Amino acid sequence: MAAPRFPLRVFRTPQWARQQPTYADADPAVIGAAYRRARRRPSGNWYVVGASREVARGRPVGRSVDGVELVLWRDGLGRLLAGPGACPHLGAPLRTARVDADRLVCRWHGLALGEESVGNWSPVPAHDDGVLAWVRLDRLGGERPTPLPSVPTRPEGGVLDAVATVIGRCQPRDVLTNRLDPWHGAWYHPYSFANLRVISAPPVDADLPEHRDVFTVEVTFKVAGRVGVPVIAEFSCPGPRTVVMRIVDGEGSGSVVETHATPVGLGPDGAPRTAVVEAVVASSPRPGFALARVVAPVIRPAMAWAARRLWRDDIAYAERSYWLRTKGAGS
């Protein structure tokens, strides 16, 4: 499906209730096997903690990964730094610290912290890939550490990116299995998808490498009414907490949507919380796309809103999956 000169197409689709049912194809065994293969892929102990632009110079940011409190900040050169979120002196929250040159200065008693260990406080590896911020937590991950995270392949050249974060009462597996079920798209999100057809899915009994462990989908992204953009996309898992949707044919070929599921820790009710950090990295050779990049600060909020709209529904789906599993009724 080569990209047409004009990307928008008028499409026809049956009424919602008269779509071709997909429950027979959405085999839980297929979804579960894909998730188990993803879990076996190494992450190097790296976790996505948010959008890189959320960590601005001079302003520390607090995050939590599976109950580990963290603080992130930038040095004078703009490098991303990270460390435990509690001051080693008396436990003050370092997310409220001041940044002075390259160091965090605790607001309780003025202890300055940087790239050296102080008592039981030690910085942790951090990485800014230009879109997302990552931290490496070796004690938590328990894998062989790697110097850098395995960032999914993204389109080259000028891109437009946006990041949205949603917190759910569930575990990362509930987020991944949701994304590894493309069959629900046109049923659960009829405002965004039409004429969705899963062309191929990976087999259950196979030990597949990532590049072959792929769901291929034909779908029309709705723009307005019966006008949309038809594409072919692939879903794959490069790691145990990440699903990548990549457009492989049609408008925006090469563009990706990365869904990263980061465990946050236990909520006040004792149930786990997971942060869904979704990055949309779009590219197009069309001349108008260059203008879109110029006005990116205006377009990004709309892109993030669209991602959060989908996850408003999907997080409820993931939360129910977690609830059913804890009641012994789910996989």
Mean pLDDT per block of 10 residues along the chain (331 residues) reads 62 89 95 95 97 94 98 95 97 95 93 94 97 97 96 89 96 96 94 94 87 94 85 96 95 94 97 97 82 78 89 94 86 57
| pLDDT attached to residue 289 | 77
**Pick from 48, 68, 120: which is nearest to 277 by CA?**
48
Query: Which 3 state secondary structure label does DSSP give 321?
Result: helix
Residue 141 CA: distances (Å) to CA of 46, 48, 138, 145, 240: 8, 13, 5, 9, 11
| pLDDT attached to residue 5 | 59
Q: How far is CA 282 from the centre of its chain?
A: 14
| pLDDT attached to residue 74 | 96
| pLDDT attached to residue 330 | 57
Return phi, psi of residue 210, to 5°.
-55, -45
| pLDDT attached to residue 228 | 86
| CA–CA distance, 62 with 55 (Å, rounded to integer) | 10
Return the beta strands (E) in the chain as ranges: 9-10, 46-51, 61-65, 68-74, 80-84, 98-100, 103-105, 112-113, 126-128, 132-136, 160-168, 193-200, 215-224, 227-239, 242-250, 256-266, 272-282
What is the pairing mode between strands 126-128 and 112-113? unpaired
Three-class HEC string of 201-224: CCCCCCCCCHHHCCEEEEEEEEEE
Q: Which residue has the tokens 């980061």?
A: 262
**Pick from 192, 298, 287: which is nearest to 245 by CA?**
192
Q: Running DSSP on this structure, what letter comes out for residue 77?
A: T
Q: Which residue has the tokens 């236990």?
A: 266
| pLDDT attached to residue 7 | 72
| CA–CA distance, 217 with 194 (Å, rounded to integer) | 12
Question: Per the structure block, which two tokens stand in for 165?
Answer: 């974060």
| pLDDT attached to residue 6 | 60
Q: Which residue has the tokens 């800014």?
A: 128
